[in-house]
Amino acid sequence: MSKVNKGGILLADISGYTRLVTSLSLEHSRSVVNMIFKKMYAATVKDYDVKEIEGDAIFALSVQKDKQKLFNASLKQVEKYADAFYSVRNELTKNPPECKCEFCAHVDKMSIKFIVHYGEYTVDQIGPIKSVVGKDIVLAHRLLKNSVKSKSYILVTEDALKLDKNYQDGLKDAHIENVEYFGDVRVGVKHFEWDEGKKGNVITGEDGKKGFLGVFGKG
């Protein structure tokens, strides 16, 4: 029987990826995709481990046992991945490839969103292939399709928010996502300011409060 693990589940999903791979030649799209994911992969913090690159998303897990450290690491990971993504996007915008394709003309429209969850999973192995499975893994992926009216944000489930001693603050802007097979899931959502050139203050409209509503990296 596979061991049941419990830990942080993080997805970093790039909006505009489909447009990228369908508007470029294979060689060109591979070059751009590699540039993005290499930069993001290198930004993985010590408490997280990348399990898979899922086409347009990075899927990472953390087995950090200390709940507050895990919460802080999750926010730090979001910050690092977003910083890496936008640094590549800005570089491509300032110094675009010598190409007139649709993607290169609209590279500045790419954005990124994050799902952070906390729950159980197992790692199954079939031959040389390892697969991470469990209802919480499914839920995190299902939450990529949600009602948030934005393409650049972090969505944190209540289970993940409860890792933080100040988690009640994180629920001030909470709403409910109705997820097929899971029912109502309470989540906290905040939008990034990266697209407005405000690197570092990931949460809009806040002044350094502690917890989810504050600036990342405080912990």
Confidence at residue 96, expressed as pLDDT on a 0 to 100 scale: 65
CA 106 to chain centre: 22
| Residue 50, strand partner residues | 60
Residues of the chain with pLDDT under 70: 1, 24, 27, 96-97, 100, 102-103, 170, 172-173, 193-219
Confidence at residue 63, expressed as pLDDT on a 0 to 100 scale: 94
Q: What is the DSSP letter of 156?
A: E
Confidence at residue 66, expressed as pLDDT on a 0 to 100 scale: 97
Confidence at residue 219, expressed as pLDDT on a 0 to 100 scale: 32
Instruction: Find the DSSP H helices in 113-218.
Output: 135-142, 158-161, 167-170
Confidence at residue 110, expressed as pLDDT on a 0 to 100 scale: 85
Could you give the CA distance from residue 59 to residue 25 in angstroms, rounded to a whole number? Answer: 26
In sign, the C-alpha dihedral spanning 45, 48, 53, 57 is negative
Please identify which residue in the block is written with the tokens 């906390």. Answer: 118
Both tokens of 23, joined, read 């508007």
Confidence at residue 196, expressed as pLDDT on a 0 to 100 scale: 53
Domains and CATH numbers, the chain: 4-196 (3.30.70.1230)
Confidence at residue 117, expressed as pLDDT on a 0 to 100 scale: 98
Could you give the CA distance from residue 183 to residue 177 in angstroms, rounded to a whole number? Answer: 8
Could you give the CA distance from residue 78 to residue 46 in angstroms, rounded to a whole number? Answer: 13
163, 70 Cβ separation under 8 angstroms: yes
